[in-house]
Structure 1
Amino acid sequence: MVSPGLPPGAVPKLERPGPLRDRVYEALLELITTRALRPGQHLVESELAGQLGVSRQPVREALQRLNTEGWVDLRPAQGAFVHEPTEEEADQLLTVRTLLAAEAARLAAANADAPGIKALEELCAEGERAVAADDMDGAVAMNARFHAKVMELAGNAVLAGLAAQVDRRVRWYCTPAARQRGRQSWTEHRELIAAISDRDERRATALMREHTEHTRASYHARQGA
């Protein structure tokens, strides 16, 4: 086992083709963002290599890249540890996310077609079912897909690229707050879909801004609990 807290079957399969170091990087990043590897957890190269079925070299390279990107801390004479985000880091990231998501909602209201709106409705229904089943991992995954779809419907590739980078870290920060947000988050999603369907750019922008600010408030409330 890599460590306590890594559930059986949590390790993603290393898909081929592609450089091994990149596939190991993606696997470790997925484990971190889903919190199978938890903030502050010690990452031992030999254990990770054994779990992933690779040599230590691509693991070492992946950890160095994750360190550069702020997901992992490399401490002299101690080794690698999953980064523990501060409230200030999270707040700054959530501020950026609000700006990107609000603009995406506006553009989606301007550009979305009927199939796109239907896709949002289907994702929302799946998220609601996950919440009803108390499947928080499923709800978090559906939330990510829902927001990614809004970005897609916005039709701005640069905006979508920036949002993808931000949203993966937001998912990491805010997964523990998912239960607190619960069904209300999906009620807000339904309201957003209605605004996009009505092509009401101003309302879609306002609703997305409120939605992301609620997520920020939930995160801080949980941190202060």
Structure 2
Amino acid sequence: MTVTDAVCVTNDMHDSRPCTIRGEHSDICDGYEYRWAEEHRRYVATGKECHGCLPRLASNGLLCRPCWESLQSAENAYGPLAELLEEFDVLVVPIGDGGGGGEKARIPLSGTKIALNEISSYRGTAETIDLDAWVSRPEGAEEAVRFTRAVRGALRSFPTTEDPHRVPRVRCPQCELLSLMWRPPVLAGDSVRIDCRNPECGFVLDQDAFDKEQGWSMKVGAP
């Protein structure tokens, strides 16, 4: 395999969803989805249909284009986010519906330091970092993926955009229940994610696939 044939490093990470091409399958695919089971230390069949297992090719170092763009966005968000996590240990919110001038409750947020420590454990604390050099080797590319995931998780804990919400009047293409949940992008470059809340289904779509399946376009941010 040449450098240009390298696939996204997520396909070699047991703790990360592999980046694959929807509707495209590897030569060894038997039609079923497989997930890594830590207790068995091997991949096991989930019993669900495989919707695409052909790995995405790496475009920058050992990251595919979506992972690379998410990494760039996470790095841009890191500075302000680190300052926020470092500054705040408690959140002060008013009690009661009236607000203003009432008694206040202090809610401990010790998770801020935990989140910052996790992010720094992957990225380090340098003011700037050479992303291209970082993702050019397997260990660095894996760290970069985990860094992006940690930043995304921290941003979800401090939301500044709309929350996920149920998709009304649309049935899941797989289980046919009214159980789809619309989840907005967290980082620039992320796609909208629509997933099924039915624990026995767990079907996942991006917005392009959702629009294609349903035959109509759902506006980003629509309730």
TM-score, L = length of structure 1:
0.29
The structure richer in helix per residue is 1
The structure richer in strand per residue is 2
Larger Rg: 2
- Higher RCO, 1 or 2 (CA under 8 Å, sep at least 6)? 1
TM-score, L = length of structure 2:
0.29
